[in-house]
Amino acid sequence: MGQPVRFPPMPESEAPSDTLPEQSDLMEKVVGLCKRRGFIFQSAEIYGGFRSTYDYGPLGVNLLRNVKNAWWETMVQRRADVVGLDAAILSPPAVWAASGHLATFTDPLVDCMNCHQRWREDKIDGVCPACGSTEFTEARAFNLMFKTHAGPLEDEGAVAYLRPETAQGMFINFLNVLQTTRMKPPFGIAQVGKSFRNEITPQNFVFRTREFEQMEMEYFVPPAEAEQWFAYWLEERFRWYLGLGIPEDQLRLRHHEQSELSHYSSGTADVEFLFPWGWDELEGIANRSDFDLKAHAAASGEKLEYYDQTANERYVPHVIEPAAGATRTMMAFLLAAYTEDEVGGEARTLLRLHPRLAPYQVGVLPLSKKETLEPLARRVLGLLQPHFMCDYDTTQSIGKRYRRQDEVGTPWCVTVDFDSLEDDAATVRDRDTTEQIRVPVDGLLAELRGRMDAASAPA
């Protein structure tokens, strides 16, 4: 590491003093930041928008990809007992009949008798959010799956569904994975992908939408080991959020009451985050027992079981399922990272995102637009780009560029100045502390890699 230096004339080497925004204002501020800085846009905005759909802008797509990559690295890349899958989004009705979704994947729908808007009964506490009326129709079951037709004929023989979860693709490929890999229980199949639910009342920005991404893993275990693996994955998944920067006081693990359990579950717990509207689910970890494999075996006529050669016995594995929402997880990281502080007597907004999640890890900033600095600044960019997602920013004053990088969560800025032409060094600035050090250009990669490694090391 280099030695701390001042970088005049900026006052940013003064340590910031944190003052967190009021929780009631936090949602509004984060939503505003997302639009202003290019994280998330309303889909089809030039046509008036399309409710409950969002487009992820240049920064949002990076952040969402980093969330998914961090999950994949932890759940697949760093484990020898989990493999990946990318199953189809469209599937025939037989899959969803066997899984129980056609019969049970419903929410209670009611109509307000005053303003005629429709609501999910269990989310409104008996009062219409639109007009305040307490008069509603009787609740009726509303199936959440999107139904479509595959092929040129729109008849019952062509019915298909957009998957409401990624899980079933892993169950119906259980035998394929067994036959094409050397896996044996306990082992997992993981998948990240889009799912679709026709929510009655989408709400809270990207938290509950009709199109979203999931990060799910089905972990197949011997029946006698199900409870111990359920406990194991509860701890593992809780620690993942802590390790990526969500404060412990904003997380909790809530076990479902018996009345809450899904038809397939013998035990479920949610990792919940303290959102501005209260505690809500980030991820569910369920002990699905052997329900799914047995249901698909009965419906398809295929034996979905494992033969243990050592014990000379066949059994249907039980399944532990950690299932997280990628989009709502991204939202939680944004909310947890949003900070307002003061540096050198000036207010500052920043995102204290973990460096692994930040849309840009490094901002490369030539101090001046003068052409004399560009060759060296471009050299620095070329040195770092193969290893980090970088932003190259030359517009406005260096102070405003620092503020801009802080606001989008860039952990480190590398500034090339006129002294750099003499000493072949650059100034590395830390987002959180605003500390600056001088580092030789040839040592920048090692310096930043060391910082990334330190940020990612277990606590």
For residues 367 and 416, the answer to whether their CB atoms sit within 8 Å is yes
74 confidence band (pLDDT: 50, 70, 90): very high
16 confidence band (pLDDT: 50, 70, 90): very low
Average pLDDT, the chain: 90
Closest CA to 360 of 393, 383, 333, 388: 388
Distance CA 26, CA 32 (A): 10
Closest CA to 315 of 347, 352, 289, 285: 289
Distance CA 358, CA 405 (A): 10
Enumerate domains of the chain plus CATH numbers: 45-92+152-334 (3.30.930.10), 360-456 (3.40.50.800)
What six digits make up the tokens of 56?
A: 């992820």
Position 19 pLDDT exceeds 50: no
Closest CA to 208 of 258, 154, 275, 255: 275
Residues 6+ away with beta carbon under 8 Å from 212: 194, 195, 196, 197, 206, 325, 326, 327, 328
247: left (phi over 0), alpha (psi -120 to 50) or beta: beta
Distance CA 344, CA 48 (A): 42
Q: What is the structure's pLDDT at 2?
A: 36
pLDDT digits (tens, 9 = 90+) for 22-67: 566 999 999 999 999 999 999 999 899 888 889 999 999 999 999 9
Q: What is the structure's pLDDT at 152?
A: 76
**Considering the entire predicted model, what is its pTM?**
0.87
pLDDT digits (tens, 9 = 90+) for 421-451: 999 999 999 999 999 999 999 999 999 999 9
Q: Over range 257-284, report the average pLDDT.
A: 87
Is the CA virtual torsion 125, 130, 135, 140 positive or negative?
negative
What six digits make up the tokens of 335?
A: 């909310």
Q: What is the structure's pLDDT at 459?
A: 62
Distance CA 452, CA 411 (A): 10
17 confidence band (pLDDT: 50, 70, 90): very low
User: CA 123, 127, 132, 134: dihedral to nearest 10 degrees?
Assistant: 140
H-state helical runs in 190-271: 226-243
Give the chain's radius of gyration (CA, Å).
Answer: 25
DSSP 14-74: SPPEE-PPPHHHHHHHHHHHHHHHTSEEETTGGGT--TT-EEE-HHHHHHHHHHHHHHHII
What six digits make up the tokens of 202?
A: 């989408």
pLDDT digits (tens, 9 = 90+) for 207-249: 888 899 999 999 999 999 999 999 999 999 999 999 999 999 9
120 confidence band (pLDDT: 50, 70, 90): confident
Poorest-pLDDT segment among 50-54, 196-200, 258-262, 435-439: 258-262
Distance CA 278, CA 26 (A): 12
- Which DSSP category does 137 fall into? P
371 confidence band (pLDDT: 50, 70, 90): confident
What six digits make up the tokens of 91?
A: 């599937």
4 confidence band (pLDDT: 50, 70, 90): very low
